[in-house]
């Protein structure tokens, strides 16, 4: 019985050894990248600067005042709105889908006293809400290069007291 137990333990250890080899193979690219970054002194804040979306957010942070509220138009699943929220805090943000109807967009702008609307993907065909905003004189398109569109909005000129 003891012999059988010992063989079972040996079998597990053998499987573990194989698994260790696989684990080394799995993490090898990451380890290689670490060595490269260490050699090139490209770590910490430098890693973030390699991301164009982050650079765009930094530009937005210079434009949007810290006490302002902005509407972020994007799909939650893309994961970009959480990045925007993280880097633009303490600015308050409201997330709306790209397919948002004009009534809801205008209502959120009015109720949240939002002064900026950020559309994350400028290449995507605009939904009804964004189209209405682009046509409205209350919204002013800002010339900020980057992956998305930025609109400045005067919420006092927007009608949106009620949304059903």
| Residue ranges that bind another protein, judged by CB under 8 A | 2, 5-6, 8-9, 12, 15-16, 19-20, 22-23, 26-27, 30-31, 34, 37-38, 43-45, 47-48, 79, 82-83, 85-86, 89-93
Residue-by-residue DSSP string for the chain: -HHHHHHHHHHHHHHHHHHHHHHHHHHHHHHHHHHHHHHHT--THHHHHT-HHHHHHHHHHHHS-TT-EEEEES-GGGSHHHHHHHHHTTSEEEEE-TT--HHHHHHHHHHHT--EEEES-TTSPP-HHHHHHHHSTTEEEE---SSSEEEEE-GGG---S---
Instruction: Give the nearer residue to another protein in terms of CB position, either 3 or 161.
Output: 3
Instruction: Give the nearer residue to another protein in terms of CB position, either 78 or 131.
Output: 78
Q: How far is the CB of 5 from another protein (least distance, A)?
A: 5
Instruction: Give the nearer residue to another protein in terms of CB position, either 44 or 145.
Output: 44
């Amino acid at each position: 019985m003891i012999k059988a137990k010992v063989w079972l333990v040996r079998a597990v250890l053998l499987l573990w050894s194989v698994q260790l080899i696989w684990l080394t193979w799995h993490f090898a690219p990451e380890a290689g990248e670490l060595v490269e970054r260490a050699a090139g002194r490209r770590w910490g804040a430098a890693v973030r600067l390699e991301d164009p979306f982050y650079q765009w957010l930094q530009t937005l942070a210079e434009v949007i005042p810290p006490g302002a509220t902005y509407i972020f138009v994007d799909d939650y699943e893309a994961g970009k709105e959480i990045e925007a929220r993280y880097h633009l805090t303490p600015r308050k943000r409201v997330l709306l889908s790209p397919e948002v109807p004009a009534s809801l967009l205008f209502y959120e702008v009015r109720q949240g006293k939002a002064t900026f609307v950020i559309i994350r993907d400028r290449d995507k065909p605009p939904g009804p809400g964004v189209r209405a905003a682009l046509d409205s004189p209350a919204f002013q398109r800002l010339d900020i290069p980057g992956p998305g569109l930025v609109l400045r909005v005067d919420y006092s000129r927007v009608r949106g007291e009620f949304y059903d």
